Structure 1
Amino acid sequence: MADRRPIGIAMNGVTGRMGLRQHLLRSVLAIREQGGIPIGDGSVIWPEPVLIGRNEHKVKAIADEHDLPWTTNLTEALADPGVRVYFDSLVTGERQRTVREAIAAGKHVYCEKPTASDLATALELARLAKDAGVKNGVVQDKIFLPGLLKLKRLVDGGFFGRILSVRGEFGYWVFEGDWQPINRPSWNYRAEDDGGIILDMFCHWQYVLNHVFGKPLSVQALAATHIPARWDEQGAEYRATADDAAYGIFELDGGIVAQINSSWATRVFRDELVEFQVDGTEGSAVAGLRRCRVQHRSATPMPVWNPDLPPTEDFRSQWQEVPDNRVFDNGFKTQWELFLKHVVLDTPWHWDLLAGARGVQLAELGLRSAKEGLRLSIPDLEL
């Protein structure tokens, strides 16, 4: 058995869907199941999670199932000298309080996005972490998806030539809750609870666009609340006050234009729940969560517009599948491994609280753009 280098992680919010499934089960416990994170000297980083939750019954049930310690007291968990990392996947409105407390306790911080509901608070958290000298990170899972990893490979390899445009489609139908149970928490549709698809998804689009294609320079957005009334977890009707769809145009460095539609009020007629089409002078690609297909300039057919006849071409068959060429792990788990290596070995890390603040900045500008009907420039952020 490899020598274990234990690292305590206080995990707050594991009773929620993302905190439980992606972060605890498919990331931290999956790392333990594989025997830890090898670090090249015969030893492994061994995560030791402590679960935190406000609902004693829920957090105890999860902890007991996996034979893990638990508490309902955040301060108590942070006082444990064996805990070196604080992880937060609470609702956005709670995050600034808990992250501040963790930084004050001298813990390294890893948290979900958005890091705050407004840019000023997001920047404050980044400054606090910098001043305290604690390592910090924000979950930016989508750049570790197989489809986007293949897309990034194409960009880095020069496949597209000069990239002209990016078109993204994301979303699915979220049941209103009147005659089918809701499939997303009700707070997502209340602005007073930090709900809204712009605050949620523009944080994702900022790091995806920046990492894969180029720095976003401007944003123009149209927000909509297509479904004005929904029903909550108790079956009570409530007024939806947050945007459930957003239609954004982003100007990127290099003259690239990106258009991304995000909606909880659309029915899926795509191969995957998110897809990006990238068009360049030398070729095009369509990438989703897992798949990526390409059409090179040399193999581009010439469609003929004839509305009087049925289509004679199978356009999808004219694209070529990009091979995996490697085994892709869960994206959340991959980023967890990178962050824990960063904490233990001081390896390079790019997705800190300042990067998270850039996502909040884009969301804030997107909301302002939608309200004022303006195209807004995106200023540089520094601490």
Structure 2
Amino acid sequence: MNGVSGRMGYRQHLLRSILAIREQGGVVSADGSRVQVEPILVGRSEAKLAELAARHGVEHYTTDLDAALADDRWQIYADFLVTTARASAIKKAIAAGKAVYTEKPTAASFEEALELARLARDAGIKNGVVHDKLYLPGFRTLKRLIDSGFFGRILSVRGEFGYWVFEGDWQAAQRPSWNYRAEDGGGIVVDMFPHWSYVLENLFGRVESVYARAVTEIPERVDESGASYEATADDAAYAIFELEGGITAQLNSSWTTRVNRDELVEFQVDGTHGSAVVGLFGCKIQPRNATPKPVWNPDIADGHDYDADWIESPANETFENGFKTQWEEFIRHVVDDGPNPYDFLAGARGVLLAEQSLISSREGRRIDLPEVTL
């Protein structure tokens, strides 16, 4: 596990996934037996690794990635590094014959992301990319609504994501400073559009074109040491995606917006037979036969409570942490050759969408996206 001292690597992948799997006795394989997991923590700071290992009862840690990759005990290489360091480490893991599971984006460019997919294919190694939002309770409920035909013909998708990230002067920022430096792999398009790629693709259809506007709305921020720096990466992006089947998706992504919605991310899906509003956990629906009939009249205050017209959709199931669930699926893929649709090629499609969206923003034009194949 490379990069476990970072926010996502520690909280979601080590603490809430691998250690939780270890504590439950491993992953149940196809024959009913359990496959236990044992992590080795890899990073640059031996002191940080030693502290994490001691805190959580992890026996193995090292600052020598090459030595860990050369050791046959470790079957899976997991990468949670910053984007600019990811591809080179993954290439080492592929050359060592390890199965690879990685955060996204898989690389800093589409060309390099596609190269990783080809290298993995040619080496015959199993590979997976984190698609965590598909495992969230809200989106899993949405998937069930789609599969049941609740929406009829889906017309459009509108998404709002984001929150105010403090500039770092009078309150510490909630995100690391490298997120706001393009030269270090930062930017909300690079960070979030690979997510939107797999969410749209797996729920509604392949993204066929994009028109995007990416902006740097806060030009100067303060880093972890209290020094001011120029923010060179985009901190907000507004995009229109055309999906196969004629669906239009509009997504706003921003670290410079104050939240006035139930959750930090919300999607509204409108169809001929019904609509839904979903977040990370909640899902509200409005069927066709329960839709009110608003009348536009700007001269009279409208006292109707439109929120009350929506019905909370029951989850009917308790979902575990999405990162943990996907980890279990990937381990079954490695051990039992279970299904794994979220591979390096899927990751490359996400990088392509981010890359082309930035080009769209620079050039002020709509861009068609090709199908990605090896």
Matched residue SS, 1:223 = strand
Residue 41 (structure 2) aligns with = 51
Normalised by the size of structure 1, how large is the TM-score? 0.96
Matched residue SS, 1:12 = coil
> Which of the residues 165, 182, 196 maps onto 2:187?
196
Provide the C-alpha distance between the structure 2 equivalents of 1:139 and 1:49, rounded to a whole number of angstroms. Answer: 18
Structure 2 unaligned spans of 5+: none
> Which of the residues 224, 232, 237 maps onto 1:241?
232
1:153-189 deviations in whole A, cap 9, x for unaligned?
1111111111110000000000000110111000000
> Which of the residues 179, 183, 197 maps onto 2:174?
183
Q: Are positions 1:274 and 2:265 aligned together?
A: yes
Q: Are positions 1:35 and 2:25 aligned together?
A: yes
Q: Are positions 1:25 and 2:8 aligned together?
A: no
Q: Displacement, 1:42?
A: 4.0
Matched residue SS, 2:10 = helix
1:307-351 deviations in whole A, cap 9, x for unaligned?
344332111111111111111010100100000000000011100
Residue 110 (structure 1) aligns with = 101
> Which of the residues 94, 111, 117 maps onto 2:85?
94
> Which of the residues 157, 163, 168 maps onto 1:172?
163
> Which of the residues 111, 127, 130 maps onto 2:118?
127
> Which of the residues 67, 74, 83 maps onto 2:74?
83
Structure 1 unaligned spans of 5+: 1-10
Identity level (%): 64
Residue 327 (structure 2) aligns with = 336
Provide the C-alpha distance between the structure 2 equivalents of 1:312 and 1:179, rounded to a whole number of angstroms. Answer: 40
Size of the alignment, in residue pairs? 373
Residue 8 (structure 1) aligns with = none
Counterpart residue type for residue 83 of structure 1: W
Alignment of 1:290-305 (within 5 A): 290-305=281-296
Normalised by the size of structure 2, how large is the TM-score? 0.99
Residue 50 (structure 2) aligns with = 60
Provide the C-alpha distance between the structure 2 equivalents of 1:165 and 1:81, rounded to a whole number of angstroms. Answer: 49
Q: Displacement, 1:67?
A: 1.8
Give the superposed CA RMSD.
0.8
Contact 2:30/2:336, CA 8 A, preserved across alignment: no
Residue 360 (structure 2) aligns with = 369
Q: Are positions 1:350 and 2:338 aligned together?
A: no
> Which of the residues 2, 5, 16 maps onto 1:15?
5
Provide the C-alpha distance between the structure 1 equivalents of 2:278 and 2:208, rounded to a whole number of angstroms. Answer: 23
Provide the C-alpha distance between the structure 1 equivalents of 2:80 and 2:286, rounded to a whole number of angstroms. Answer: 39
1:34-71 deviations in whole A, cap 9, x for unaligned?
22111253421111100001011111100111121100
Provide the C-alpha distance between the structure 1 equivalents of 2:177 and 2:107, rounded to a whole number of angstroms. Answer: 19
> Which of the residues 219, 242, 245 maps onto 1:228?
219
